[in-house]
């Protein structure tokens, strides 16, 4: 049998920590330790030079005070060098009182008259005294018979200011080094205190960072950011993040598309990027609520806003344009179904009347009845098509006339109405006219002598639209509010919200450089006026179709 294999494990390696808390704490401790060591070293480096300078100056001061005593110079001139001579006595007294290592007095030949070692009295000094004997003071760190010391040398003068010798004083260098070493523990104590305070601050900062990052690793944070970017730019819902000052922090691709902004909008104030209006008010939180409706360009948006802990907010946007259009088409379809149902009953009643006239053999009355019924519908269609040459708009007005009749409202064209078939954007004008006529029918229904009048006229390339109703009118205090998203006096329908028709009319008008306004009608009710500059194209030569006609036919000009 083979022996079992033994796995030899090497020493465990302590790798770089993965957590943000551990990495930041370790980096901060390393930086604080390095800075503390550097500062301590930078402080100790000049301290040694300062102590040397202080020792040399002290030695020089002792030498100057010794040379200033008159008995030293007079004894040097009148006595011989001896261990018990007056010069040695004075020098030793000064050395003991000042704590100097030595006080050496020499004559002009460099012969010692005093020394701590009396056997060296009468010998020539070991260092060059020429500088001091020349009348100049000397400070230096040098080595002599007593070892390395800080020295001060000065000339010795008699009463006539003549140089008769020199005085050399030494401070033991060991005392300078001892002072330096004595200062190190204090410096290290201060450095240790600073290191402890820095380590505590680093720990507290790292703990705060740990709470803010939820103790994640840098790789986890990087992965989360990558996933967030991918998620934000892939979802089909607009996302706009704002900071506490109202500046756009980020917006995804869908938000850029819905709001008509570019990537450079990030970092700009919200009001500057969007301009004044309800959309900016909703995103900024000046209008509060859930599922707030706003119109941006020709889009109907549904916005929700959620504040964040740092004082900012995240807003989401959903495009309701297609849903709103479907809802409006559903409303129109329901209205047409009701109108067709009513017409079916009316048609049945007319057929019953016609059948009765025929059974009673009242043939002349039957012919007159049929002629009258057919003539009314033909006259209405001919009246519209003679004044409105655009097929889409004419078809809309004919249909609205039928709906108005079933609701008991008389829809008629204003005198002087004439619109050529040169519309640049016929579908846009259909939306404008359809919304205004629907609102007018709602306002006029139920009033005495209910009627709605539509006027269209062209002035060069400008189209002016008037829609007048016989309803109660618009209060003067509400004339600015009716063009705001969500404002309505009617109950909301089952499929969504009201208060979008007039804002869309205003946006369509402003997109073409036009305007919309409301005023009181002299006969009562309200008059909406829409001015659309450049709404008509250039006149086409005879025999050629206009771009609007080609667009209606589905062809490319």
SS3 readout for 93-123: HHHHHHCCCEEEEEECCCEECCCCCHHHCCC
Tokens of residue 535, six digits: 């709404």
| Res 356: pLDDT | 78
pLDDT over threshold 80, residue 549 = no
pLDDT over threshold 80, residue 134 = yes
| Res 495: pLDDT | 43
Mean pLDDT of the chain: 76
pLDDT over threshold 50, residue 1 = no
CB 396 within 8 A of CB 499: no
Helices and strands (H, E) in the chain, number of each type = 15, 14
Separation of alpha carbons 547 and 289, rounded Å: 45
pLDDT over threshold 70, residue 145 = no
With vertex at residue 145, the alpha carbon angle to CA 142 and CA 146, rounded to the nearest 5 degrees, is 80
| Res 553: pLDDT | 43
Select the more confidently predicted residue: 404 or 100.
100
pLDDT digits (tens, 9 = 90+) for 278-318: 788 888 888 887 777 777 776 778 888 898 888 889 888 88
Domain ranges, ordered by start, for the chain: 22-179, 235-319, 386-552
Select the more confidently predicted residue: 213 or 426.
426
Separation of alpha carbons 342 and 407, rounded Å: 10
pLDDT over threshold 60, residue 545 = no
Select the more confidently predicted residue: 113 or 373.
113
Burial readout 447-484 (b: 16 or more C-beta within 10 A, e: otherwise): beebbbbbbbebeeeebbbbbbbbbebbeeeeeeebbb
Q: Which CATH number does the domain 235-319 belong to among 2.40.30.10, 3.40.630.40, 3.90.580.10, 3.30.450.20?
A: 3.30.450.20
pLDDT over threshold 70, residue 413 = yes
What residues pair up with 452 in beta bridges, in sequence order?
A: 411, 469
Separation of alpha carbons 502 and 442, rounded Å: 14
pLDDT over threshold 70, residue 443 = yes
CB atoms under 10 Å from CB of 278, counted, come to: 22
Burial label for 200, CB within 10 Å (0-12, 13-18, 19+), is exposed
CB atoms under 10 Å from CB of 244, counted, come to: 12
| Res 428: pLDDT | 79
pLDDT digits (tens, 9 = 90+) for 60-74: 999 999 888 888 888
**In percent, how much of the chain has pLDDT > 90?**
6
State which of 324-328, 376-380, 523-527, 534-538 shows the largest mean pLDDT: 523-527
Select the more confidently predicted residue: 139 or 502.
139
SS3 readout for 258-273: HHCCCHHHCCCEHHHH
Do 386-552 and 235-319 have the same topology in CATH? no
CB atoms under 10 Å from CB of 350, counted, come to: 14
Q: Edge-to-edge strands of the sheet including 462-469? A: 410-413, 451-459, 462-469, 526-532, 515-520
**In percent, how much of the chain has pLDDT > 70?**
71
Residue 142 CB partners (closer than 8 Å, separation 6+)? 127, 148, 149, 151
Among 277, 245, 244, 246, smallest CA distance to 260 is for 277
- What is the average per-residue pLDDT within 154-163? 89
Among 185, 175, 182, smallest CA distance to 52 is for 175
Select the more confidently predicted residue: 376 or 532.
532
196-200, 379-383, 549-553: segment of lowest average pLDDT: 549-553
The CA-atom distances, in angstroms, between 442 and each of 112, 326, 450 are: 130, 20, 10
Task: With cut-offs at 50, 70 and 90, classify the pLDDT of residue 548.
Answer: very low
| Res 494: pLDDT | 45
Task: With cut-offs at 50, 70 and 90, classify the pLDDT of residue 216.
Answer: low
CB 255 within 8 A of CB 317: yes
| Res 493: pLDDT | 47
| Res 467: pLDDT | 92
- What is the average per-residue pLDDT within 140-164? 81
| Res 464: pLDDT | 92
Separation of alpha carbons 69 and 90, rounded Å: 9
Residue 139 CB partners (closer than 8 Å, separation 6+)? 56, 57, 59, 60, 150, 151, 152
The CA-atom distances, in angstroms, between 210 and each of 32, 33, 310, 525 are: 20, 22, 17, 67
Separation of alpha carbons 301 and 318, rounded Å: 6
Separation of alpha carbons 486 and 500, rounded Å: 6
3-state secondary structure at position 531 = strand
Residue 446 CB partners (closer than 8 Å, separation 6+)? 408
Separation of alpha carbons 301 and 258, rounded Å: 8
Q: Does domain 22-179 have CATH number 3.40.50.1100?
A: no
- What is the average per-residue pLDDT within 242-262? 86
Strand duo 299-307 + 292-296: pairing? antiparallel
Separation of alpha carbons 409 and 447, rounded Å: 9
> Percentages helix, strand, coil for the chain, rounded to the nearest 5?
50, 20, 30
Which residue in this structure is represented by tokens 């703990």? 207
26-35, 100-109, 371-380: segment of lowest average pLDDT: 371-380
CB 521 within 8 A of CB 440: no
pLDDT digits (tens, 9 = 90+) for 180-213: 666 667 767 777 777 777 777 777 777 777 676 6
| Res 519: pLDDT | 87
Domain 386-552: give its CATH code. Answer: 3.30.565.10
- What is the average per-residue pLDDT within 221-231? 67
| Res 434: pLDDT | 85
Does the predicted model carry a pTM greater than 0.85? Answer: no
CB 357 within 8 A of CB 365: yes
Strand duo 410-413 + 451-459: pairing? parallel
């Amino acid at each position: 049998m083979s022996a079992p294999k033994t796995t030899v494990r090497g020493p465990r390696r302590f790798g770089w920590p993965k957590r943000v808390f551990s990495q930041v704490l370790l980096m901060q401790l390393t930086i604080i330790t390095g800075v503390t060591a550097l500062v301590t070293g930078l402080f100790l480096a000049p301290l040694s030079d300062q102590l040397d300078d202080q020792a040399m100056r002290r030695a020089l001061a002792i030498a100057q005070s010794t040379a200033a005593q008159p008995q030293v110079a007079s004894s040097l001139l009148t006595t011989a060098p001896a261990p018990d001579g007056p010069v040695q006595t004075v020098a030793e007294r000064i050395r003991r009182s000042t704590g100097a290592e030595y006080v050496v007095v020499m004559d002009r030949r460099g012969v010692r008259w005093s020394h701590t070692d009396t056997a060296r009295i009468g010998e020539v000094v070991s260092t060059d005294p020429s500088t001091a004997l020349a009348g100049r003071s000397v400070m230096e760190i040098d080595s002599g018979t007593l070892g390395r010391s800080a020295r001060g040398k000065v000339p010795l003068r008699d009463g006539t200011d003549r140089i008769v010798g020199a005085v050399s004083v030494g401070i033991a260098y060991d005392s300078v080094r001892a002072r330096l070493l004595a200062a190190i523990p204090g410096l290290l104590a201060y450095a240790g205190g600073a290191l402890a305070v820095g380590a505590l601050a680093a720990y507290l900062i790292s703990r705060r960072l740990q709470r803010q990052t939820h103790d994640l690793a840098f790789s986890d944070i990087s992965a989360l950011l990558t996933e967030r970017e991918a998620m934000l730019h892939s979802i089909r819902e607009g996302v706009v993040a704002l900071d506490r000052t109202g500046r756009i922090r980020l917006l995804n691709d869908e938000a850029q598309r819905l709001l008509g902004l570019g990537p450079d909008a990030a970092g700009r104030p919200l009001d500057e990027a969007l301009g004044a209006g309800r959309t900016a008010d909703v995103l900024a939180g000046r209008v509060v609520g859930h599922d707030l409706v706003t119109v941006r360009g020709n889009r109907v948006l549904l916005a929700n806003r959620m504040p964040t802990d740092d004082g900012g907010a995240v807003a989401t946007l959903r495009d309701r344009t297609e849903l709103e259009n479907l809802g409006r088409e559903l409303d129109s379809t329901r209205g047409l179904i009701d109108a067709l149902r009513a017409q079916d009953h009316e048609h049945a009643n007319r057929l019953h009347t016609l059948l009765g006239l025929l059974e009673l053999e009242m043939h002349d009355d039957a012919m007159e009845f049929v002629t009258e019924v057919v003539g009314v519908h033909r006259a209405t269609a001919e009246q519209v098509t003679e004044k409105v040459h655009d097929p889409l708009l004419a078809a809309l007005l004919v249909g609205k006339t039928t709906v108005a009749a079933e609701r008991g409202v008389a829809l008629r064209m204003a005198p002087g109405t004439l619109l050529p078939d040169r519309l640049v954007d016929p579908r846009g004008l259909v939306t404008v006219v359809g919304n205004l006529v629907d609102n007018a029918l709602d306002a006029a229904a139920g009033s005495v002598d209910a009627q709605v009048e539509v006027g269209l006229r062209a002035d060069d390339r400008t189209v002016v639209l008037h829609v007048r109703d016989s309803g109660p009118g618009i209060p003067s205090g509400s004339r600015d509010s009716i063009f705001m998203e969500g404002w309505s006096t009617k109950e909301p329908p089952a499929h969504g919200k009201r208060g979008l028709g007039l804002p869309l009319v205003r946006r369509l008008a402003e997109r073409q450089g036009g305007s919309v306004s409301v005023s009181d009608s002299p006969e009562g009710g309200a008059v909406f006026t829409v001015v659309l500059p450049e709404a008509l194209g250039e006149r086409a030569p005879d025999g050629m179709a206009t771009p609007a006609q080609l667009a209606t036919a589905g062809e490319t000009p």
